[in-house]
Amino acid sequence: MQDEDVQLRGIVAVAFEIGDKLPKLNFELIRREMRMLRCIPMRIVGHHFCTGNQAVLQTLNLVLHMATPFFRVRTRAHHGKYG
């Protein structure tokens, strides 16, 4: 974050879901975290969530559906096999 270009352009967060179990989700906690992301000092310009599990992808799509427009337009969910 010391680089001036990074401060101006921002970062893209990437998350990989590993495993076959569907995680337990607390939707109120997810909603709070989405609001908090707008308040942190790093400028996050995009999010990519990657999963190999179809059920997790459907859950991610549900989370994106209830997300704020600010978060929704900057987020992509990807499905496929890794490695």
Q: How far apart are CA 47 and CA 20, in angstroms?
A: 22
The pLDDT value given to residue 8: 79
Give the residue from 83, 52, 78 showing the smallest Cα distance to 64: 78
pTM: 0.67
User: What do you get for the CA distance between the two ends of the chain, in Å?
Assistant: 30
pLDDT for res 28: 85
- Which phi and psi angles does 44 have, rounded to 5°? -95, 115
Give the pLDDT mean for 66-78.
84
Better-scored residue on pLDDT, 44 or 76: 76
pLDDT at 67: 81
R_g of the chain, CA atoms, integer Å: 14
Q: Is 5 exposed, middle or buried (0-12, 13-18, 19+ CB in 10 A)?
A: exposed
Give the SS3 label for residue 47. Answer: strand
- pLDDT at residue number 23: 66
% of the chain at pLDDT higher than 70: 90
- Under the banding of pLDDT at 50, 70 and 90, the label for residue 22 is low
